[in-house]
Structure 1
């Protein structure tokens, strides 16, 4: 039973250590909006979202005031639009009209992002899937709140290399379409392997087809809290260090459980999952890199970084599952470069490279996240980076993702500015050796042998 006394225990975490509920995300199924007429489809989508989410923002604000817990974002995720629009959309331009409808609905209810402009193509693409993917550059250029994702691989099905090749070009086209804003559109586009269907965090959120009509998911974050806690065990052994991280993660998750329960009760919508993720922000003292440095690294990227991150990720998950029966999503530690001051500093110092980041993705919660690369980087090279990251996810039976931002007109040594939680990022060099002959092979990479479980 969660009560106000447990929340009071976290006052210091909130006031001094940047603890926050990063998001309340309302998942909304749009399957009952499906229609063969595009105008009717858009009307149904707008009506359902604005009806179900009418009180989402006000409910979050009430909980903030009542319990003194910052709730940074109120968001919506919807059923993958490639599925919803399949009957009505005959071209990429038709899908763009749905993106505009989603953006209009998000503005109406006051949320900052709406996720689910997505396609699930881990094995193959339908015409609807391909049309949606091809519409992404225009959709992200002409909207403010839309987030998009494409799942191109899984441990069960392998990697759809046709989709990987297409996504490399789409990332490049999205960068070009939003070049007047340092290619910001790419910050709202994620390419996944093993995407979870209950993820409240953007830009990869969408509502899975196994979910109900509506669900409340909550994402909690607290890198500063964890760093502050482990400062007290400097020089101690790994057992004490791990116990400290677990206990801290437990307390953070309980705050999220309280908020999720309250939001669910007040809105009359079932509670789904708590996602306990150490998701950093550009603010000083809210950094995953600083946790790794407190553990004992001179700077993130130093030898030992991958081991330290693996330990951190595991202890966060272990602490979270003791605090809630429904921990899910992408729980663990995120390593988005532009959103983490310590990561930015390490890139600028040269201790954190693309290759080291890739190694770290083997043990973190997501993957290559919010990394700015030279605008001249070819689509084939971007596809090759995506393929590498998808392979890590497929073979290791984990979620991996790529959110690369080829900043048009900028090169290594320059900085891209994204603003808000998205932060800023130094342009990081990439290996430009040609991989196009590999990327241009058609078909898919088969699933690994350990996928045959049933």
Structure 2
């Protein structure tokens, strides 16, 4: 039975509180497109993506019109391309350009999967793809890249970590005339999930079906608005309960959209990623939720505790509202994409070391962090290693999306535009970790990996 008050509440959430479906992402396996001839492989990839995703954007738009629910992004994730490079050889950038061409043809916002999974070492095609990332991201518009360098089971591949510090720096340098956008489309993971619908880290894992629909919900503004109505004397258990109830409502909407998209496209429905994903828009901020809980400004003492409670409450509320939860699921803290995080970084309340502590309890990690352009590759690698260690030891996903702002120093700002936002250049500890990074090898998996 339809409840009028529930309908009116949802309309208010959409109109006044920035509620939206952040993305419908179609995952497509390209394993059957492998070929010893790279040009033939590219032809197969283009044909398969266009065939399966040809109606993805239209389907999303139809659902928007039918239910009045904004669906901000329609995206595609594909099999890690390094797997295909291992079969075909040749210049991996050919694959990137094929993905970009397919993305333009079907009209999606981004396509992810220019990726390699190297947590335990390098197989054929991995190093070639990793070395090609700066060029691939500079010569394409819609392609996103990710590399998984560690896991709780495997430890951390420090040879890959060293490479990625240099790759990130080169990706910024080669796109410095475009606000260093290359590095903003590149994520380095530990414990990367195979069904993540959010960019730039989305790829279609080898254990996934041939084609699947995954949905990423959002709604930080809705959670903040719910907390704003509470009394300042309400205890934190009541705050957590309010967040859970709100997350349930947000996720139910995502479940509806996922089921509708699956039915219309004739593709299995995979998972709901129930993450709170912010935008630079005022009123759509995870930081503002933390401040509504009771912090003067994000970054203050107590920030990590408040974020831990928020993340847990979102998961508890969302998991009851969906048939299958996956991806990252929780709360994102991308600095340049969150108005409250930007303000905290500008004022100096939020520093990189505090962000690192927060990543131990949030969904991802150091996300959309802008650092001085003269930051060395070794420092970038060491930041990746620190973040990967948090993920490895805590059996959770962590990631680094860090942008060296070429030509800029502490306090200056970089503006990407759109959902990627803008933000201040944050100060970095410049003491050299070069000796450690240059040792290479592998940090062994922690003892808790032996769970069998």
Q: Which runs of 5+ in 1 are unaligned?
A: none
For 1:338, what is the secondary structure of its paired residue? helix
Structure 1 pair 7/34, CA: closer, same or farther in 2 (3 Å)? Answer: farther
Q: CA deviation at 1:442?
A: 2.1
Decide whether the 8 Å contact of 1:2 with 1:254 is kept in 2.
Answer: no
* Equivalent in 355, 360, 380 of residue 382 of structure 1: 380
* Equivalent in 407, 410, 414 of residue 409 of structure 1: 407
Aligned partners of 1:141, 1:448: CA distance in 2, in Å?
A: 37
* 143-152 vs 407-416, greater mean Cα deviation: 407-416
Q: CA deviation at 1:267?
A: 0.4
Q: Which digits, 9 at most, give the CA deviation of each residue in 1:38-73, with x for residues without a partner?
A: 110000000000010000000000000010000000
1:207-218 correspondence runs (5 A): 207-218=204-215
2:47 corresponding residue in structure 1:
47
1:71-150 correspondence runs (5 A): 71-90=71-90, 94-150=91-147
Q: CA deviation at 1:127?
A: 3.8
TM-score (norm 2): 0.98
2:250 corresponding residue in structure 1:
252
Q: CA deviation at 1:238?
A: 1.4
- Is 2:197 the counterpart of 1:197? no
1:183-332 correspondence runs (5 A): 183-235=180-232, 236-332=234-330
Aligned partners of 2:12, 2:263: CA distance in 1, in Å?
A: 27
2:160 corresponding residue in structure 1:
163
Q: Which runs of 5+ in 2 are unaligned?
A: none
For 1:243, what is the secondary structure of its paired residue? helix
TM-score (norm 1): 0.98
Q: In the comparison of the two structures, how many residue pairs are matched?
A: 451
For 1:291, what is the secondary structure of its paired residue? helix
2:23 corresponding residue in structure 1:
23
Decide whether the 8 Å contact of 1:233 with 1:240 is kept in 2.
Answer: no
* 78-87 vs 302-311, greater mean Cα deviation: 78-87
* Equivalent in 344, 361, 364 of residue 363 of structure 1: 361
Q: CA deviation at 1:9?
A: 4.0
Aligned partners of 2:65, 2:377: CA distance in 1, in Å?
A: 47
- Is 2:429 the counterpart of 1:437? no
Decide whether the 8 Å contact of 1:114 with 1:147 is kept in 2.
Answer: yes
1:443-454 correspondence runs (5 A): 443-454=441-452
Q: Which digits, 9 at most, give the CA deviation of each residue in 1:427-451, with x for residues without a partner?
A: 0010000100000012100000000
Structure 1 pair 309/53, CA: closer, same or farther in 2 (3 Å)? Answer: same
Decide whether the 8 Å contact of 2:189 with 2:399 is kept in 1.
Answer: yes
Q: CA deviation at 1:233?
A: 1.7
Q: CA deviation at 1:5?
A: 8.7
For 2:125, what is the secondary structure of its paired residue? helix
